[in-house]
Amino acid sequence: MAGTFVIAQGGGPTAVINQTMVGAALEVRKRHPGAKVLGALHGVRGIRDGNYVDLTEIPEAELRRIAGTPSAALGSTRDKPDAAYCEVVLKGLQKIDTQAFIYIGGNDTSGTQQILTDASGGKIAFVHAPKTIDNDLEENDHTPGFISAAEYVAGAFLTADLDFRALPGIYVAIVMGRHAGFLTAASAAWRIDGESGPHLIYVPERAFSPKQFVDDVKRTLAKHKRCIVAVSEGVTAEDGRALVETLVPAEKLERDAHGNLKLSGGDLGMAFEHALKEGLPGARARVDALGYMPRGFVGAISKVDQQEAFDAGAFAVAVAGEGGGSVALQVENGKTVLRKVPLINVAGKTRHMPEDFLDAAGTGLAPAGKAYFERLVPKKYDVGKPFV
């Protein structure tokens, strides 16, 4: 086969999305000698504009070095192709004799592959390879990028808890996660004992009440003298809207091409600072956002995550040979296995955290949640118990 394989990366970068890109590129080179492997720059935008990097001849050692580097080395995009954009992309793919287009990303990216599949005549294999720190793809036990992000978040909250043992107060950190609370819940993965924070977890799957929040913090302070709180940026108000939507005037809200609300501004943090000042005047309180660090902190990349992401890229090439689809990471007998699943099962859908991961109050892990994180994000550091 001497056609062209196009690889691109979409959505937010992760610590291991380059593993998947390189895993796919090297697999094409192995399976299809003579085929061309092009990396489209900035996702479908690169195809639209004819911007590619030729991955066919780059030395394997250099590609593996890039694989070990966080963020999307090909560049990424949040473009959502409409019909006209789609047509340009399809023409672009045909022009370079594309036999398969492997697009690495989350639910928006898989949605784009579904749109392109529907618009194409079936001559090109469209493959979606999974990537998201949100861990919110249907059909997947977990997604490449999640384990590294979860380790960062677990480490960040272990760090904050130790810090606030030394100098007591209230600590709130906002964690990425638009609709699914997996990453925020990972904050509790490395608690060292029953005293450890995070003491309170708020995820998008449960309605958030500012009054309940202040009561929860007061109760925790009375018990532990400190209070460590993990909040998803996508936490929802009782009327079902994102909390930030209830706090920021409609004309100031920003959305991307997929209609996703910008959740990452400082407004949510300021709202928490304000609520704590009103509800607990005089208390030492600090509100931070972990920001972009979980999705690629160079010092906290999981080797398991790296290997799984690489394998998912290689497997995507096999799926291309079968006409396309979505690559899913599933677990059988305790081991991660790769499966081809229909694109339609994943495209544009959101997998929420299972109800039974949280306790009745919705602010702590229940046994099912604990078991999930013990399996995926086992403790990594030997931590001594402080005297305070």
Task: Using the minimum distance from each CB to its own copies, give the nearer residue, 125 or 227.
Answer: 227
Q: Which is nearer to its own copies, 92 or 294 (CB)?
A: 294
Strands, sheet with 200-202, edge to edge from the N-terminal-most edge strand:
200-202, 227-232, 170-175, 285-289
- The percent helix, strand, coil of the chain (3-state, each to 5) is 40, 20, 40
The CB-of-223 to its own copies minimum distance in angstroms stands at 18
Which is closer to its own copies, CB of 9 or CB of 98?
9
Residue 328 makes contact with its own copies by CB under 8 A = no
Question: Which one, of 64, 43, 41, lies nearest residue 53 by Cα?
Answer: 41
Kindly state whether residue 66 participates in binding its own copies, applying the rule CB under 8 A: yes
Residues 6 or more apart whose CB falls under 8 angstroms from that of 242 comprise: 204, 234, 235, 236, 261, 263
Q: Among residues 73, 176, 185, 312, which is the contact residue for its own copies, using CB under 8 A?
A: 73
Among 296, 313, 362, 369, binds its own copies (CB under 8 A): 296
* 37 and 96 Cβ atoms separated by less than 8 Å: no
DSSP classification of residue 353: P
Q: Is 90 in the site for its own copies (CB under 8 A)?
A: no
Give Cα separations from 186 to 2, 58, 162, 169, 171 (angstroms): 45, 37, 17, 22, 17
Q: Is 173 in the site for its own copies (CB under 8 A)?
A: yes
Q: Which of 72, 60, 16 is nearest to 303 (CA)?
A: 16
- Write down the least CB distance from residue 171 to its own copies, Å: 8
The residue among 266 and 378 lying less far from its own copies, judged by its C-beta, is 266
- Site for its own copies contains 144 (CB under 8 A): no
Question: Per-residue string for binding with its own copies, 5-24, x by CB under 8 A?
Answer: ----x--xx----x------
Identify the three-state secondary structure at position 237. Answer: strand
Interface pick for its own copies out of 49, 62, 322, 359 (rule CB under 8 A): 62
**In whole angstroms, how close is the CB of 76 to its own copies at the nearest point?**
4
Determine which one of 79, 108, 134, 305 is catalytic.
134
- Tell whether residue 195 is a contact of its own copies (CB under 8 A): no
Residue 102 φ then ψ, to 5°? -100, 115
- Give the residue among 35, 26, 28 at the shortest CA–CA distance from 58: 26
Q: Does 135 interact with its own copies (rule: CB under 8 A)?
A: no
Give the nearest distance from C-beta 173 to its own copies in angstroms: 8
| Chain center to CA of 171 | 23
198 prior amide bond cis, ω within 30: yes
Let me know: does 224 contact 199? Beta carbons within 8 Å. yes
The site string for its own copies over 256-285 (x = CB under 8 A, - otherwise) reads --------xxx--xx--x------------
- Classify 170 as helix, strand or coil: strand
Comparing CB distances to its own copies, the nearer of 378 and 386 is 386
CB 241 within 8 A of CB 63: no
Judged by CB under 8 A, the residue of 16, 26, 29, 39 near its own copies is: 39
385 is an interface residue for its own copies by CB under 8 A:
yes
The β-bridge relationship of strands 227-232 and 36-40 is unpaired
256 classed as catalytic: no
Question: Which residues participate in catalysis according to the annotation?
Answer: 134
Q: Which residues bind its own copies (CB under 8 A)?
A: 9, 12-13, 18, 39, 41-42, 53, 62, 65-78, 151-152, 155-156, 158-160, 162-163, 165-167, 171, 173, 264-266, 269-270, 273, 286-289, 291-293, 295-300, 380-388
